[in-house]
Each structure stands twice: as structure tokens, then as C-alpha cells.
């Protein structure tokens, strides 16, 4: 067994580690380094300017706008998605009442699950293109076309400052719900039916079943869902980049950090500044994930 062990280990690791170090590790390390420079990409002289980029960032209005948008997405994307997904998953799994003493899903639950999940398979960029047409402010849009038939004035979903971000949020929810329906369904499926039966024998209503049995036993899955959706709320780049008016508009009403990083890097060649934003985004994401796991920590219920 000893024979040829180290050559084998090195042989198997060298290519993956090399590729990974070059394109991932080196990139992340350099990002921190660049965030302390004023480098603009083309000039050969790079000087370290300490925390100047960060000071500038904290005085930048657009940055704070983006942060506000992330906070809004961070609250409503997980909340809406999880509530809807839990609701549908519960209906799918125990909506059919009980037969022979065991609760069962509604008729056709498999079909619903297949349909609900499909948007997850579509690229966000593609979804963004579809919905920029759905939201179109004239009669060619799906929603305004329908509203027009009802004689309602067109709604400027993406051009109205107060509506644009909510319209984008709705698309994120539209895409995400199915994934979490499947995830929660799997979790609910692993809850032994005996527990439901026992609770039902004790006269528990569906509401009690849901809040006292399903929810506590699903806690770990919910936690994972919240972290995933939170991380998605820090992204939203594809949707905003494709859907929003003037990329991040109208008047900065939909901009997100990812878009600002992209723009500062590739439109303005502000490499140092863009990297500083990336560093802030990193700390925000990691703080969010750590906080969520901390705050929502509960004793896992062993079955």
C-alpha cells in the first residue's frame, strides 16, 4: 500500500490545486491588495493609498443606495420565498387529507412540483430578458397588455422609481420558490407520518400540525434556505444589469453592489475602487451568514 503513494497523491492533486490557486486563491488575495491602491488599470505606477478607497466609498451616495437595496432584498427575498414555498410544500405534502390513517399529498402533487421547479433551471440572465418584456411599459408587455384589455392605465414597472426594485424582487421570488418547494417537500417527506397521526389523534388542526410539528422539525432546512436566499440577495447582478433602466436606474433606484463593482472595474477602469467594494461585499456576506446561523441556532430535534 505504501508503494508509490506520494507520487500518486501529488499527481492527483497538482493540476486541480494549480488551477484553483491561479484563478481563485490568487484572485481573492490580490483583490484585498488592490483595494488599498489607486490603480486604474493602465498606468504602470501603482501606489498604496491606505484606506482612501474605503473612505471614499463610505461617502459615496451610490454605495449607500446599493446597500439600502440589499437590505430590502435581504428582508423580503427570503421572507416571501420561504413563506410561499412552505405554504406550497405543506399543501403538496399534507393537503390531501388522510387515507387509511396517514396524511397524504394532494392529487397531482408530483406534477405541481415538476412545474414549480422549472424556473430554477433557467439562467437568471434569461429570466431577466423574459421579464423585461413581461414588464414592458407599453401594450407589448404581458402585464400591461392584459391591463390594457381591462382598460387600466399602463404601469411603469421598471421605469417608476418606487416600483422598479420591487418588480425585480418579484422576479427573484418567481424563480426561487420552486427550488425551495422541492427542498422543503423533501424535508417534510422525511418527517415520520406517525408524528402527524399522533398529533391528529390528539385533535390537532392543520394549523397546529404546521406550526407545532412541521416547522420545528424543518428548522435546519429553513436555516439553510435563509442563508442561501440571503446570499442571493447580495447578488441580483444579472437581473439588475439586464432589466433595469440605464443599468441600475431609474436614477440609481435599483443598483446593487455587484453592478457597481462591474461598472467601476470595466466601464471606469477604477480597479482599486472596485476591489474595495468587493472587499466590503465580502465582509457583508460573511457577516450575514455568520449572524444568521448564530441567531437562528436551536437545538436540533433528533428523530
Partner 1 sequence: MTNLMSSDSPAVPPETAPRPGSRHSAAASRDKREIKLFSGFAHVALAIWGLLVIAPLIWVVLASFKSNTEIFTHAPFSLPSQISFETYKTAWTEAHVGRYFLNSVFVVAISTAGTMLLGSMAAYVLARYKFFGNRFIYYLFVSGLAFPVFLALVPLFLILQNLSLLNTYTGLILVYIAYSLPFTVFFMTAFFKTLPNQIAEAAIVDGASHTRLFFQVMLPMAKSGLVSITIFNIVGQWNQYLLPVAIMQGAGAEKKWVLTQGIANISVSAGYQANWAALFAALTLSILPMIIVYAFFQRQIQSGLTAGATK
Positions 87 through 126 that interact with partner 1 (CB under 8 A) = 87-88, 91-93, 95-102, 105-108, 110, 112-126
43-82 residues near partner 1, rule: CB under 8 A? none
Long-range contacts of 209-218 (CB under 8 A, 24+ apart): 209/94, 210/90, 214/90, 214/94, 214/188, 215/86, 216/301, 217/187, 217/191, 217/301, 217/303, 218/86, 218/184, 218/187, 218/188, 218/191
Of 195, 224, 225, nearest in space to 212 by CA:
195
Out of 232, 244, 261, 292, name the contact with partner 1 by CB under 8 A: 261
Out of 44, 59, 61, 149, name the contact with partner 1 by CB under 8 A: 149
Q: Which residues pair with 48 in a beta bridge?
A: 37
Contacts of 226 (CB under 8 A, 6+ apart): 78, 82, 292, 296
Does residue 167 touch partner 1 according to CB under 8 A? no
Are 214 and 88 a contacting pair, CB within 8 Å? no
Q: Identify which of residues 117 and 219 has a Cβ nearer to partner 1 in the complex.
A: 117
Q: How far is the CB of 252 from partner 1 (least distance, A)?
A: 18
Q: How far is the CB of 178 from partner 1 (least distance, A)?
A: 7
Reported residue count of the chain is 303
3-42 residues near partner 1, rule: CB under 8 A? 4-6, 8-9, 11-13, 15-17, 19-31, 34
Q: Identify which of residues 11 and 216 has a Cβ nearer to partner 1 in the complex.
A: 11
Residues near partner 1 (CB under 8 A), total: 117
Out of 74, 77, 176, 182, name the contact with partner 1 by CB under 8 A: 182
Does residue 152 touch partner 1 according to CB under 8 A? no
194-213 residues near partner 1, rule: CB under 8 A? 197, 201, 206
d(C-alpha 33, C-alpha 21), whole Å: 16
Amino acid at each position: 500500500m505504501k508503494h508509490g503513494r506520494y507520487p500518486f497523491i501529488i499527481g492527483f492533486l497538482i493540476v486541480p490545486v494549480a488551477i484553483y490557486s491561479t484563478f481563485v486563491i490568487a484572485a481573492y488575495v490580490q483583490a484585498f491588495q488592490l483595494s488599498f491602491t489607486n490603480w486604474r488599470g493602465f498606468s504602470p505606477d501603482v501606489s498604496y493609498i491606505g484606506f482612501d478607497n474605503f473612505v471614499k466609498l463610505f461617502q459615496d451616495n451610490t454605495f449607500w443606495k446599493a446597500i439600502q437595496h440589499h437590505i430590502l432584498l435581504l428582508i423580503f427575498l427570503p421572507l416571501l420565498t420561504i413563506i410561499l414555498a412552505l405554504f406550497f410544500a405543506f399543501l403538496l405534502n399534507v393537503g390531501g387529507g388522510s387515507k387509511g390513517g396517514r396524511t397524504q399529498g394532494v392529487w397531482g402533487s408530483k406534477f405541481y412540483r415538476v412545474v414549480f421547479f422549472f424556473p430554477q433551471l433557467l439562467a437568471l440572465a434569461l429570466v431577466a430578458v423574459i421579464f423585461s418584456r413581461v414588464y414592458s411599459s407599453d401594450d407589448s408587455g404581458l402585464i400591461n397588455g392584459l391591463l390594457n384589455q381591462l382598460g387600466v392605465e399602463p404601469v411603469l414597472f421598471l421605469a417608476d422609481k418606487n416600483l422598479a426594485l420591487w418588480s425585480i424582487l418579484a422576479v427573484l421570488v418567481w424563480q426561487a420558490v420552486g427550488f425551495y418547494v422541492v427542498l422543503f417537500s423533501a424535508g417534510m417527506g422525511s418527517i415520520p407520518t406517525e408524528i402527524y397521526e399522533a398529533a391528529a389523534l390528539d385533535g390537532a388542526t392543520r394549523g397546529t400540525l404546521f406550526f407545532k410539528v412541521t416547522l420545528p422539525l424543518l428548522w435546519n432546512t429553513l436555516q439553510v434556505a435563509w442563508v442561501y436566499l440571503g446570499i442571493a440577495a447580495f447578488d441580483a447582478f444579472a437581473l439588475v444589469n439586464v432589466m433595469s433602466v440605464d443599468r441600475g436606474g431609474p436614477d440609481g433606484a435599483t443598483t446593487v453592489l455587484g453592478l457597481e463593482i462591474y461598472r467601476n472595474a470595466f466601464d471606469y477602469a477604477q480597479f482599486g475602487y472596485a476591489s474595495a467594494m468587493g472587499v466590503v461585499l465580502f465582509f457583508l456576506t460573511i457577516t450575514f451568514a455568520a449572524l444568521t446561523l448564530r441567531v437562528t441556532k436551536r437545538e436540533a430535534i433528533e428523530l
